[in-house]
A and B are shown apart, each in its own frame.
Chain A
Amino acid sequence: MKPLKLNIILVLLALTFSACNSKKNNQETVLYQCPMHCESDKTYTDAGHCPICKMDLQSLEPSTSKTENTHSIPEESIFNLTSDWNTEEGEQIQLRDLKGKTLVMVMIYTSCKAACPRLVADMHNIEAKIPDDKMDQLNFALISIDPETDTPERLKAFAIENYMDEPQWTFLQGTESGVREFANVLAVKYKQISPIDFSHSNIISVFNSQGELIHQQEGLGVDNKETVASILKQLK
């Protein structure tokens, strides 16, 4: 059931949210599927019986899964963004793949000499205050504002160098427009001031498992008490 549901949701999401492909989808062919999933995700165009368990096939109505889908991603969730990202492990993901865990996010770039090491330290300080047994409910994501330089390899090297190679750390390389869009969602400002340098605002953002912004910490080396409290409140 699970992979199927996920697939349907993903397909629908792709249809609903991709910027320009959302013209009305007129051809709503109804598909049928065995309720027991005897042939895993196999679908039929006609109603009938499952050849294996002989049960009546059930129709997969797009409308029902659609309500499910809008229900599962809140309106203000960052999982509504459809941009593609590469992780430091070389995987291609969309932000909604991070769903289900509390997210702590910051925008950095690896060639940064001034603010980023301090932002990285701030992230470490927050991480240090999370009990170890709750760590699997958290994702710390560092997003590069310099996608051209910060390739997955470079991000991986940065992760190792800064002791951020455990599973709870994720580094993301986007596209220029994807990064710009994401920064706008976080209200982060940045500008390339020379080929290797950016000015940027220093904001650490906390999202709940549904991708809704619940807290932002602004500035460098500030007291992270509120940020940590907002994270702990999300954890079970």
Chain B
Amino acid sequence: MKHRTFYVLTIALLFHTLGFSQTEGMVFIKGNRYIPLYGRDSTVVEVKDFEMDIFPVTNSQFLEFVKQYPKWQKSNALKLFTDKSYLSNWENDFELKSSEKPDSPVTYVSWFAAKAYCECQGKRLPTVDEWEYVAMADENTRDARIKPDYNKQILAWYEAPRTNENSIGQLPKNIWGIYDLHGLVWEWTLDFNSVLITGESRKDVDKDSNLFCGSAAVNATDLMNYAAFMRYAIRGSLKAKYSIKNLGFRCVKDINK
């Protein structure tokens, strides 16, 4: 009898440790040091281990969220946190327009709404560095940025119209097991407002003309990575209350050790 209890306990413990590391719907991302397009002064940034949502948050998931948290419903959301286009592809608080699919990535959400969604799941938005770290992988390499095909494919996706209306999970997953970082929508990041792309970093960046100016590109570490440059430029032009047609999000989670 004693023996048996011990046996059961061991099994239980084993399963416990197995189940520990992976949250449902997320995969483990092993951290590392890498050079993003725009880094800190030392250019190399360090990303710690974390978990990331396999898919972007969908319309139907966001619907569940607003049912639970009425303050984020289309008609209730405060103007401080959202602009006029918040959920403008929804018919009302609880229904999508007939043209929209439940398993398309949710878009027309502000940074505040995205942040609240993640926090209410015990998660958070990824930092720019974390997002870019996972997004530089392709199907079989963790850093595919040197492959000409990698950039070409992403740029081809950027050119394709109305990709925000597609369903999630249709394109191949990357080596981490993550889908749709490229190909459907842009995604909010926690510190998107850390992107100061100007020639002179202490100058303000509210003017669009500063975004694409040559001096900004010269500071970038990899002039070939035009796709990444576009992403940083978009981030630099966003404000947190904006809700945009092709801007969605996904969440990440710190690893608690």
- Measuring CB to CB, which residues of chain A are less than 8 angstroms from any residue of chain B? 16-17, 19-20, 22-24, 75-78, 80-81, 114-115, 180-181, 183-185, 187-194, 197, 199-203, 218-220
Contacts and interface: CB of A to CB of B under 8 A. Distances in A.
Contact of A185 (B40, B80, B236): B80
B204 A218 contact: yes
A194 B111 contact: no
A191 B196 contact: yes
Contacts of B202: 114-115, 199-200, 202, 220
B99 interface: no
A184 B40 contact: no
Contacts of A16: 71
Contact of A192 (B40, B119, B193, B204): B40
Contacts, number: 91
Interface string B68-88: 111100000011110000000
B71 A22 contact: yes
Given A22-B71, A76-B78, A218-B204, A188 B119 contact: no
Contacts of B205: 189, 201
B201 interface: yes
18 contacts: A20-B69, A23-B68, A75-B80, A181-B240, A184-B112, A184-B239, A190-B194, A191-B191, A192-B40, A192-B194, A193-B40, A193-B41, A197-B41, A201-B203, A201-B206, A202-B202, A202-B204, A218-B206
Interface in B150-190: 190
Nearest to A192: B40
B115 interface: yes
Contact of A188 (B41, B111, B115, B193): B193
A24 B67 CA distance: 10
Given A181-B115, A184-B193, A187-B239, A203 B80 contact: no
A188 to B, nearest CB: 7
B216 interface: no
A77 B205 CA distance: 24
B120 interface: yes
B194 A191 contact: yes
Contact of B120 (A20, A193, A200): A20
